Amino acid sequence: MMTKIPGILLAAPSSGSGKTIAACGLMAAFRQMGKNIRACKCGPDYIDPMFHEQVLKIPSKNLDTFFTNEEQTKRRFLSGRTESEIAVLEGVMGLYDGLGGVRKEGSSYHLAEVTDTPVILVVDAKGMGKSILALIAGFLSYDEKKLIKGVLLNRMSKSYYQILKPLIEQELKIRVVG
């Protein structure tokens, strides 16, 4: 049985949605609260982990379910970790985009499944109104393991957020976390 490390995986519908800035902001906030944080990046990425390291002052770990099998990925995720830490994982591309953009292996979703980590969906909401509900609903309907536990709306004004947040939560039964 796998030790449970508390944490979240920040994923998105696509690249450029704000995963890195959300991950770094969350890491910094947890650190200011005195929490012990560990950062991970989905895939063989070297740029985003450098941003993580700037925030935490410790190396970020790459996890990739294509280059390592599920058991190796779990071991790598747990290596040197304790239950007192919060793991902040940053996804790659879109949530379901794995090898070649179509396979499960290498996707953020597969990593969340393997590490038993809940997903916060970071959605770039610029230029969207109620249509954002259809986008989120599509991601939720595709979530076989029910790993998506919340939504973070990026690039949205505070006043518009206050209008859309209750609509999303009421209609889709998903928590909007920011």
Tens digit of each residue's pLDDT (9 = 90 or more) over 39-85: 888 876 666 667 767 777 777 788 888 888 999 988 988 887 777 88
State the Cα–Cα distance between residues 165 and 178, nearest whole angstrom: 9
Helix axes 108-115, 70-78, angle to 10 degrees: 70
- Which letter, b or e, does each residue of 107-128 get, where b requires 16 or more Cβ atoms within 10 Å of its Cβ? bbbbbbbbbebebbbbbbbeeb
- pTM, 2 dp: 0.90
Q: Take residue 129 and report the two structure tokens written for it.
A: 């109104």
What pLDDT is stored for residue 1 in this prediction? 41
Pairing of strands 36-42, 119-124: unpaired
